[in-house]
Amino acid sequence: MELDRLFRDRRGAIVEEWVAALLRIYSEEGAKFFGSVPNRFANPAGYIFRTNTERIVSKLMDGADETECRQDLDGILRVRAVQGLSPSTALCFIPALKEILYREACQVVSPEQADALLHNWYIRIDRLLLLGFDIYMECREILWQQKANQLYDRTHKLLEKANLIQKEDSTG
């Protein structure tokens, strides 16, 4: 399809815009840092943001199923889930992709046509968003679990020992 070819040609620009949307929630200094030359070790969050965004865009353009983007989306959201953001803020970059694609489409077709042609894309992005909610919640749950377990872990051996004594009493 014509639109798909357009998107493929404009892949770089679309990724750029999407990364910008992803970074818009941070303070300028933070955003510039995350957005600077991605360096896996010195700037892991920025690295994940950029490479994973690129991969998601590529996969979607190649017609892959949204679930195939799970790992990449997971990387991004895993970082966002610990940054003290509300769920809507953490995930808001996903629907932003709709608008980015819409703007791109409007360069070659009329706005009405664009909406119609992008219908499938919108559905896929919605699915991606729902997938994002799942991932985000999973991450949060690990965090809550760890918080809940922390005291237990610290005293685990003591508890185990206490149980052991109990067991011996009941069997003996």
Partner 1 sequence: MSTLPRPEELYAKINHTPPKADWMDVPVDIKPGRYCYAANPDSLNYVGLPHARKWNPLDEDWKLPENWKEIIFNGIRERLDKYRSFKVFMDICVRCGACADKCHFFIGSGDPKNMPVLRAELIRSVYRGEFTTFGKLLGKFAGARPLTEEVLKEWWYYLFQCSECRRCSVFCPYGIDTAEITIMGRELINLLGLNIDWIATPVANCYRTGNHLGIQPHAFFDMIDFFCDDIEDITGIRPEPQFNKKGADILFVTPSGDVFADPGTYTCMGYLILFEYLKREYGLDVTWSTYASEGGNFGFFTSHETMKRLNSKIYMEAARLGVKWIIGGECGHMWRVLHQYMDTLNGPEFQSSNMTVPKNPITGTVFQHAASTKMIHITEFTADLIKHGKLNLDKSRNAGIHLTWHDSCNTSRGMGLFEEPRYIIRHVVDKFTDMPPGTIREETFCCGGGAGLNAGECEELRMMGGLPRASAVKYVHEKYGVNMLGCVCAIDRAVLPGTMKYWVPEVTVCGLHELVGNALVIPGEKEREVNLRGEDLPGKEDE
Partner 2 sequence: MKALYSLFLVFALAAIALVGAGALGMERTFGLYIPFLAAAVFVVGFCWRVVQWGKSAVPFCIPTTCGQQESLPWIKQSTIENPSTTTGVVLRMLLEVLLFRSLFRNNQPQLYSDGRVRYASSKWLWLGALAFHYSFLIIFLRHMRFFTEPVPALIRGIESVDSMLQIAAPTLYLTDLVFIAAVTYLFLRRVVVPNIRYISQVQDYFPLFLILGIGLSGIFMRYFAKVDIMAVKELTMGLVTFSWKAPQGIGAIFYVHLFLVSVLLIYFPLSKLMHMGGVFLSPTRNMNCASRKFRHINPWKFENVHYHTYEEYEDEFREKMVEKGIPVEKPL
Choice from 4, 5, 13, 42 touching partner 2 (CB under 8 A): 42
Q: What is the CA radius of gyration of the chain?
A: 22
Residues 1-40 that bind partner 2 (CB under 8 A): 28-29, 32-33, 39-40
Name the 3-class secondary structure at 39: strand
Tokens of 33: 């840092």
Q: Which is nearer to partner 1, 93 or 136 (by Cβ)?
A: 93
- Neighbouring CB atoms inside 10 A of 91's CB total 22
Residue 89: which of partner 1, partner 2, none does it interact with, CB under 5 to 8 A by kind?
partner 1
Q: Which is nearer to partner 2, 50 or 124 (by Cβ)?
A: 50
Residues 44-73 that bind partner 2 (CB under 8 A): 47
Question: Does residue 152 bind partner 2 (CB under 8 A)?
Answer: no
The amino acid present at 63, given as its one-letter code, is: G
What length does the chain have?
Answer: 172
CA 134 to the chain's CA centroid = 10
List all residues 6 or more positions away from 57 whose beta carbon is below 8 Å from its beta carbon: 11, 14, 15, 18
Residue 151: which of partner 1, partner 2, none does it interact with, CB under 5 to 8 A by kind?
partner 1
* Residue 39: strand pairing partners: 43
The amino acid present at 149, given as its one-letter code, is: N
- The Cα 103–Cα 101 span in angstroms is 5
The nearest distance, CB 97 to partner 1, in angstroms, is: 8
Choice from 6, 51, 58, 95 touching partner 1 (CB under 8 A): 95
Question: Does residue 47 bind partner 1 (CB under 8 A)?
Answer: yes
Residue 72 in contact with residue 56, Cβ under 8 Å?
A: yes
Q: Which is nearer to partner 1, 5 or 164 (by Cβ)?
A: 164
Question: Does residue 45 bind partner 1 (CB under 8 A)?
Answer: yes
- Contact footprint for partner 2 (CB under 8 A): 28-29, 32-33, 39-42, 47
